[in-house]
Structure formats: structure tokens, C-alpha cells
Chain A
Amino acid sequence: MTAPTPAPAPTATPGLPAARIAPPALINAEVADDSLAIVLREVLGGIVAVIRKDLLVEWRARAQIVALLGFAAVVLLLFSFAVGPDSVTLAAHAGGYLWLALLLASTLLLARSLQTEVESGALESLLLAPVRAPSIFYGKAVANTILLGLVSVVALPLDLAITGATVISPGPLLGILALGAAGIAAPGTFYAALTARVAGKQLLLPLLLFPLIVPALLAAVKSTTLTMTGDPMGQLPSWIALLVAFDLIYWSLCGLLFERVIET
């Protein structure tokens, strides 16, 4: 799109801009590096690197992710024990059990994702690497979304088996799982960073996260239930829209504020 016509280039070079840009470029290469395209590439590269790093860390310590899956499974079982063996009730609430199990499991996952960084002082090294703060946030949030998505994909069949619910529209359900996982992961990663250095973090993270997550939880549970019981009123699109809106708002807001959180 830039296709420079011969006219603007010569008029620009002898004028003021060239004189301003040239000297700093000689003294300090970084000033010239601040063009938008380069920053964007840097941020995206950082995101990919952080995702790879986080997933690799999880892979190397895969006993922990297995333990997390076990935790989600046990929570699912406990819900059915608490409700009783009435299969109609169980099937009607299958969506709710699934999301509560995921939400409870997520606090363990999210807390760990930043605890390891803070405990070993890795966060400072990461910032000095240098990785920009938004890259760290989005990288971690995406990695947590992937891991949560993994937990949900394992928990879903278990949920269906325990409750006897059936999935009518599997395509939308997979999308809802991804959107819901993203909805938990973004504010969750953010609050995990905020509480990582606070004394009562194990308690604070869920306390901060759960009230905030109410709209996402509502939308995810409602839409998941609709994919299981059928959607005669055509409500599914509006619940998915709510979930998307929640994701958009918190992925951008938390990304904006994360730098402040991590550098203070």
C-alpha cells in the first residue's frame, strides 16, 4: 500500500523529518527500531516465545497437568455425589458441573503459572530478556487457555458419562469451551500476576477471580446447557455473543494494565 510516488520522497528527505531522524539513528539504534511494524513483530515474537516456554514447562512437569485433570475429574464426581443419582437432574445440570469443575481447576493452574516465575526471579529475567510486558501477558494467557482447553476436552466426556447428558450440537460446544477457557484465562492470568507476591495468594486469587468471572460463567453454562438440551428459542447466539464480548473486553483491558502490574 505504501507504493511511493517519486514526488513525496524527495520533498521529505531534504526537509525537517530527515534531519530529525538521522542523528539519533547514528547514536542509538533503538530509536530507529521503534517503528510500529518492528514493535509489533517484537511483541508477537515474544508472545510465541512465552507460549512455547510455558507449554514446555508444563510438558516437562506433566505430572502436574495430570494431577490437574484428576482434580477436575474428582470435582465432577463430587458434584454428582452431592446431587444424588437422579439422572434427570444430573443431565439437566451437566453444563454447570463442567464449568464449575473447570473454574476450580483453573485457580490451581493459574496460580502456578506465575508462582514459578516469581519464586525463582524468572519474571525479572524475562523482562530483561527483553520481552515486553504485553507479550508476557498474552503469551501466558494463551498458554493457560490452551491448558484449560485441554482440561475441558478431557473433562467433557467424563461429565457426559457421569451425568448421562448428550451433546446435540458438538460444533458450537467446542467453540464455547474455547471461548470459556479464554474468558477464565485472561482475568485469571492477570490476577495471578497481581497476587503472585502477596502473602495470601491461594485465597486471594479465587476471591478476586470468581466475582469477576460471573458473566463469563453464566454465559458459558447457559450456552453449554443449550448445546446439550437443544435450543428451541434460538438463544445460543446471544449467549455466545456475551461470552465473546467478555473475552474481548478482558483480553484487551488486562493486556493494557498488565505492564503496570508486573513492573511495580
Chain B
Amino acid sequence: MTHRSYIVGAVLLAIGFATMAVGHFIGLFVAPREAMMGDVGRILYVHVPTAWGALLLYSGAFIAAIGSMWTGRRGWDAATTAMVEAGTVMTFLLLVQGSLWARPTWGTYWTWDPRLTTSAVLAAAFGVVLLLRRLIDQPARRAMATSVATIVAFVDVPIVYFSVKWWNSLHQPVSNLGSVDSPMMQPLLIAAIAIMFIGAGLSILRFRIELARLVAEEAAPDLPDMPDPLHLEGSDKPVQAEGSPS
């Protein structure tokens, strides 16, 4: 019965990759060359949708984190983790693409541009959430830490962006529906739709895996790292469940 969401996730991923192929075909072979950057500018069709996708996934994770904190339900916790993870993957992709694009156009792999720096800070902030999650054994506390750290990191996004924007700026103006010429619009939109499908597919698959992991953990909490299954008299908790000895 859990297989259905695996199939849904896989189908979404397949649609996403197929759409991506179409979008990139148009972007690479049909759309005109970018006036200033030439063929290098075609990375726009993968870079900009990746940025949108990452931001959407983080926004979804933020909402799921609030749900997780509010209700304490496993599903929200798994959803938060899934979307933070998928978003972090996209942010790392974004950084790599950005560097590849920056080298021929700006002459450097890295600059302290607001969006570039914000992406790096985002990758670090949300990556650490995943690390934090791995280090906490107790399910309730882990869910709490994940949701709280996700909320705090998400709130930081606009602040980081504006502070770095004031600090230094070089990035080309943000690409949106208004600033991109119409023949380049079509592949960009198709690629954006493709990224949404991929993001959703990855999140659903990851959500299902995380949920299965949480359920298994609840069914057999002593399995991973409980060398001594000793229970204290009158206490329903195993003695070492806290993981506190440092």
C-alpha cells in the first residue's frame, strides 16, 4: 500500500526529466543566442529554474516545519526533512551552476554577490539542519529540533539577502517573467515546470523513505544504538534513551 506513493514520486520524476529534456532541447538548439553572453547564456534555462525550485522547496519545508511544531505529527516531520534535503541538493546544484556561469561572464568562479552569497549561506544553514537531525536519537526531540532550526534558517533568508545586497553587488538583475525576452521565455518556463516536477517527485520519494524510517524506529526503537536494554524500575523509558552523556 505504501508502494503507490513510490510510483507517484517516480512518475513525477519521469515527467520532470522528460519535460526537462524538451525544455533544454529548445533552450540549446531552438532559442536564440543571448546577445551579450552568447551560448554561455543558455545556462539560464537550468540555473534560474533551479533557483526557483530551491526556494519553493525551502518555503514548503518552512510550512511543513510549522505544521510539525504545531501538531508534533510524524508526517510533517518527514515532509520537513524531505523538502529541506531536496532543497539543499538544489542549492548545491545552484552554486555549481552559478560558478560555471560566473567564470566566463564575470571572469571569476566566486564573487560576493547577494544571491550567490545568500545561496551559500542557505546551503550551509539548511545543510546543518540535516546534520543536526542525524545527531539526535530521540524522535520527539529530533522532530522539534528539525522544525525549529528550519524555521529559524528560513527567516534568515531575506535578512541575509538584503544585508549582502547592501554590502556588495555584481549579479545581473534577477531573471523573471518581465526581464527575459519572449523567445527565451518558452524554454525557461518549460524548464521551470520540469524542475517543479522533479522537486515534487524527489520530495515525495524522500518523504516516503523518511516516514518508513520513523515508523520502523518507533516499532523497534532499541535496534540501532542501544547496547544495554536495561529499563529502570517504574520508568517506561530506557535508561540510555537520552543520548546525553557527552
State whether these chains interact: yes
**Interface residue ranges, A against B (CB under 8 Å):** 118, 187, 190, 194-195, 197-201, 204, 207-208, 210-212, 214-215, 218-219, 222, 238-239, 242, 245-246, 249-250, 253-254, 257, 260-261, 264
Decide if A201 touches B148 in the complex (CB within 8 Å).
no
Decide if B164 touches A218 in the complex (CB within 8 Å).
yes
Chain B, range 148-184, C-beta contacts under 8 Å to A? 148-149, 151-153, 155-156, 159-160, 162-164, 166-167
Type the 1/0 row for B136-151, where 1 means its CB is closer than 8 Å to any CB of A. Answer: 1000110011001101
Decide if B159 touches A204 in the complex (CB within 8 Å).
no
Decide if B159 touches A118 in the complex (CB within 8 Å).
no
With A208-B128, A245-B159 as given contacts, are A199 and B135 in contact (CB-CB < 8 Å)?
A: yes
19 contacts between A and B (CB under 8 A): A187-B152, A190-B152, A194-B145, A197-B141, A198-B132, A199-B243, A200-B135, A204-B132, A204-B135, A208-B149, A211-B124, A211-B125, A211-B153, A214-B121, A214-B164, A215-B159, A257-B69, A260-B144, A261-B145
Residues of A within 8 A of B131 (CB): 204, 207
**Is B235 on the interface with A (CB-CB < 8 A)?**
no
**Is B244 on the interface with A (CB-CB < 8 A)?**
yes
Q: Which of B144, B159, B246 sits near A264, CB closer than 8 Å? A: B144
Decide if A254 touches B152 in the complex (CB within 8 Å).
yes
Minimum Cβ distance to chain B for residue A85 (Å): 27
**Is B242 on the interface with A (CB-CB < 8 A)?**
yes
Decide if A249 touches B155 in the complex (CB within 8 Å).
yes
Decide if B148 touches A204 in the complex (CB within 8 Å).
no
Residues of B within 8 A of A254 (CB): 152
Minimum Cβ distance to chain B for residue A206 (Å): 10
Decide if B128 touches A198 in the complex (CB within 8 Å).
no
Q: Classify the interface of chain A: helix, strand, loop or mixed.
A: helix
Decide if B244 touches A197 in the complex (CB within 8 Å).
yes
- Please measure, in the bound complex, the distance between the C-alpha atom of A246 and the C-alpha atom of B152, giving whole angstroms: 12
Decide if A260 touches B246 in the complex (CB within 8 Å).
no
Task: Identify which of A208, A242, A246 gathers the most chain B CB atoms within 10 Å of its CB.
Answer: A208
Q: Which residue of B lies closest to A218 (CB)?
A: B163
Residues of B within 8 A of A187 (CB): 152
Decide if B152 touches A264 in the complex (CB within 8 Å).
no
Minimum Cβ distance to chain A for residue B70 (Å): 10
- Please measure, in the bound complex, the distance between the C-alpha atom of A187 and the C-alpha atom of B159, giving whole angstroms: 14
Residues of A within 8 A of B132 (CB): 194-195, 198, 204, 208
Minimum Cβ distance to chain A for residue B147 (Å): 8
Chain B, range 221-242, C-beta contacts under 8 Å to A? 242
Residues of B within 8 A of A239 (CB): 166
Residues of B within 8 A of A218 (CB): 163-164, 167
Decide if B148 touches A194 in the complex (CB within 8 Å).
yes
Residues of A within 8 A of B244 (CB): 118, 197
Decide if A197 touches B149 in the complex (CB within 8 Å).
no
- Please measure, in the bound complex, the distance between the C-alpha atom of A210 and the C-alpha atom of B160, giving whole angstroms: 12
With A199-B135, A199-B243 as given contacts, are A215 and B156 in contact (CB-CB < 8 Å)?
A: yes
- Please measure, in the bound complex, the distance between the C-alpha atom of A253 and the C-alpha atom of B152, giving whole angstroms: 8
- Please measure, in the bound complex, the distance between the C-alpha atom of A21 and the C-alpha atom of B165, giving whole angstroms: 55
